[in-house]
Amino acid sequence: MSATFIYITVPSQTVAEKIAATLVEQRLAACANIIPGMKSLYRWQGKVERRDETVLILKTQPQLFSAIEIAVKALHPDQTPCIVSLPVDAGNAAYLKWVEAETS
């Protein structure tokens, strides 16, 4: 059993909910966690920017990353969205089996 968490930042909870619902409905993700209230500071096009953002964490299988990346880019309003895979090295075997079953 293998799993990965996909970490995504979005500009609002509404965008996070839309992406999460789409990916869970399409069985690309078993679960989505939406964490509002993040403050981001980043350099973009030569300027330091500040923005309130929402974190979206998806639980899925590593081989689904490419399909998730395509879907998120189609739904995300940013030109260069943060979409990164964080491998799960160990975990509750029953939980990891559930992730696998829900994304098959």
Q: What is the mean pLDDT of residues 10-31?
A: 98
Domain residues of the chain, as ranges?
A: 3-102
37-78 residue pLDDT tens: 999 999 999 999 999 999 999 999 999 999 999 999 999 999
CATH architecture for the domain at 3-102: 2-Layer Sandwich (3.30)
Provide the β-strand partners of residue 31: 59
Band (pLDDT 50/70/90 cuts) for residue 16 is: very high
Contact 41, 49 (CB under 8 A): yes
pLDDT band at residue 2, thresholds of 50, 70 and 90? confident
Q: What is the DSSP secondary structure assignment for residue 64, as one 8-state letter?
A: G
Give the predicted TM-score (pTM) of the model.
0.93
22 by Cβ neighbours in 10 Å (0-12 / 13-18 / 19+) ranks as middle
| Phi/psi at 84 (5° precision) | -130, 150
pLDDT tens for 79-103 read: 999 999 999 999 999 999 999 999 9
In single-letter form, the type of residue at position 103 comes to T
**pLDDT beyond 80 at 1:** no
